[in-house]
Amino acid sequence: MKPRVLVAQMSFVLLLIGAWEFGDRVGAFDRTMLPPPSEVAGALRTLLQSSEFLADASNTIVRVMAAFAIGAPIALAIGFMMGENIDLGRSLSPVFNLVLSVPQSIFLPIFVLLFGLGFTEKLIFGITHVFFVVAVNAMAAARGVPHGQIELARSFGANKLRIYRSIYLPAMAPQIVTGLRLGLIFDIIGILLAEMYASRDGLGVLLLRWGESYDVDKLMAATVLISLATILINEIMRILESRVGRWQQAAEPR
Amino acid sequence: MTSARPLVIEARRLEKVYGVGRAPIVALQDISFVVQEGSFVCLVGPSGCGKSTLLQILAGLVPSTSGEILIEGAVMRKPAPDKISVMFQDATLLPWKRVIENIEFPLEIRGRKAAERRERAAAMLSLVGLAEFGERYPHELSGGMRQRVSIARALAPDPRILLMDEPFGALDEQTRIKMGHELLRIWSQTGKTIFFITHSLTEALFLSDVVLVMSHRPGRIVGVIDSGLPRPRTYDIIGSAEFGAARNRIWQLISLDDDEVAGEGMVSL
């Protein structure tokens, strides 16, 4: 990015925050509904020092990571098999695409009925969020491996393992990482939603509680924190994505 | 080319049938021919006559339904990368590897040491005249350059035989002519046996010692033309009377065989 563009973007963000602070100081906004950024920053500092908040945050993080750790490998394996086996892909991919087009939030009450309100329910809800998008991308990645490259490797005497390692893996990597990035974001959405809907702990339920009790400074502080964390995760995954796919971005416009 | 040199390829009554069952399609029928060591043999025929299938069988990538192939006297059943390298119409360079790494790829598969691979790949790269392009990526090269890299890669494992499936088919006319000259130079420098598929009669005659003429439905060999044209060859030879006579003979073989499909078969003169 050009430095000038970056400066302009940063100035815009700073300007918004400045206007917000200024508006509160001159009394243009209702401070109980919209506390100034300085107060939100203070609340954020307090939250980060509160062991209760950190316990809730770690509960959420554990749920997100567990759902990803279970859902992503299974989705990669099934997606790959769907890409390799035409019949399997034909029968499953329309179902997967339909599931992806339905807002998964509407299934939450059913999940609660089936699995109760504990860790299991949130874990499974998170897994369903990870699974489909990762599987569909893995399938597309496997299908996209050019047949000619496989034939080429075979003609030079490559065995199955070598073909997977030297052709499939690099050819599939960019789209796999895209799937994983989306899966992780969907995962976070799913877990927070499940926590906000009904939970004893976690960041989601805190947001809900603070909203209902007009603890707006804490609410805003947590919202800002979660936003920054997800932006950071997304950006890290995007960097990874462009690293493994550097050859692709360069090669494709031709 | 009539001197008795050892045979490196012997195809014996090859047959390929697809879709065994109610409506089997005979893609190749009774294909027999021999290729002498160090010779340049072209296989010419209309699109869809089974040329590529034949090449895949010769490469050991696809099994034949019946018949057998002898490579240097031994029956071949699976890819023999020590003896044969294959070049496809599309250069099929791996886009995530640099040019030099692409040339190293067959040696990497064979588990050669990195230094040895690099040295061999660099030598092959200079042989095809692209010594300065090793660090580039395939997408940075033109179509003709990519095919040169593909030739260098095919030569890297030092095979006896090069099987080429319309390698210059996707190039423009000028590049194609230039690549033909290049290939003849590399051929005379390395002494490989080349089996080259094309649907261009001119290209086939210009390059080869022997032209195998194929026809379709089912794919079979309808004639073997030993052009006897002198070497080394320049492009002028294409205008010569002998060249024209040989081309007419091939054309007749193809069109006599099946008048109604000769037009649609897309053999370019």
Per-residue pLDDT of chain A (254 residues; tens, 9 = 90+): 678 999 999 999 999 999 999 998 898 888 888 899 999 999 999 999 999 999 999 999 999 999 999 999 999 999 999 999 989 999 999 999 898 899 988 999 999 999 998 899 999 999 999 999 999 999 999 999 999 999 999 999 999 999 999 999 999 999 999 999 999 999 999 999 999 998 889 999 999 999 999 999 999 999 999 999 999 999 999 999 988 888 876 665 44
Is there a contact between B88 and B167 (Cβ–Cβ < 8 Å)?
yes
Structural domain includes residue A171: yes
- Which residue in B109, B137, B138 is closest to A157 by CB distance? B109
CB contact under 8 A, A148 and B88: yes
Structural domain includes residue B267: no
Q: Is B52 in the A-facing interface, judged by CB distances under 8 Å?
A: no
Structure tokens at B97: 């590897």
CB contact under 8 A, A156 and B157: yes
Preferred mutation among A150, A151, A156 to probe B, highest tally of B CBs within 10 A: A156
Structural domain includes residue A206: yes
* pTM to 2 decimal places: 0.84
Structural domain includes residue A88: yes
Q: Which candidate, B43, B54, B55, B38, places its Cα nearest to that of B3?
A: B38
Q: Where are the alpha helices (DSSP H) in A26-118?
A: 37-49, 51-84, 86-101, 108-115
Is there a contact between B21 and B70 (Cβ–Cβ < 8 Å)?
no
Structural domain includes residue B218: no
Cα-atom radius of gyration of chain B, to the nearest Å? 19
Separation CA B228–CA B209 (nearest Å): 7
Structural domain includes residue B153: yes
Looking up residue A215, the CATH number of its domain turns out to be: 1.10.3720.10
CB contact under 8 A, B81 and A155: yes
Q: Is A254 in the B-facing interface, judged by CB distances under 8 Å?
A: yes
Separation CA A111–CA A56 (nearest Å): 22
SS3 B142: coil
Closest alpha carbon within chain A to B60: A155
Structural domain includes residue A28: no
Q: Where are the alpha helices (DSSP H) in chain A?
A: 3-25, 37-49, 51-84, 86-101, 108-115, 119-143, 147-155, 160-163, 169-197, 203-212, 216-244, 246-251
Pairing relationship of beta strands B66-71 and B7-18 according to DSSP bridges: antiparallel
CB contact under 8 A, B139 and A167: no
- List CB contacts (< 8 A) between B105 and chain A: 153, 156, 166
Preferred mutation among B88, B96, B139, B195 to probe A, highest tally of A CBs within 10 A: B96
Structural domain includes residue B142: yes
- List CB contacts (< 8 A) between A167 and chain B: 94
Structural domain includes residue B243: no
Interface contacts (A, B; CB < 8 Å): 62
Structural domain includes residue A21: no
Separation CA B111–CA A217 (nearest Å): 63
Overall domain count for chain B: 1
Q: One-letter amino acid identity for B141?
A: L
Q: Which domain holds residue A216?
A: 36-246
The dihedral region occupied by B268, where left means phi > 0, alpha psi between -120 and 50, and beta the remainder, is: beta
Structure tokens at A34: 């919209």
Q: Which candidate, A23, A31, A42, A22, places its Cα nearest to that of A218?
A: A42
Closest alpha carbon within chain B to A174: B96
Separation CA A167–CA A149 (nearest Å): 7
Residue B239 DSSP code: G
Give the pLDDT confidence score for residue A251 in this predicted structure.
Answer: 63
Structural domain includes residue B110: yes
Is there a contact between A183 and A73 (Cβ–Cβ < 8 Å)?
no
Q: Is A248 in the B-facing interface, judged by CB distances under 8 Å?
A: yes
Those residues with Cβ within 8 angstroms of residue A200's Cβ, 6 or more apart along the chain or in another chain: A117
Percentage of chain B lying above the pLDDT 90 cut = 64
Separation CA B11–CA A137 (nearest Å): 44
Overall domain count for chain A: 1
Separation CA A104–CA A110 (nearest Å): 11
Of chain B residues 82-101, which have a CB less than 8 A from chain A? 82, 84-86, 88, 90, 92, 94-96
Structure tokens at A237: 């995954």
Structural domain includes residue B152: yes
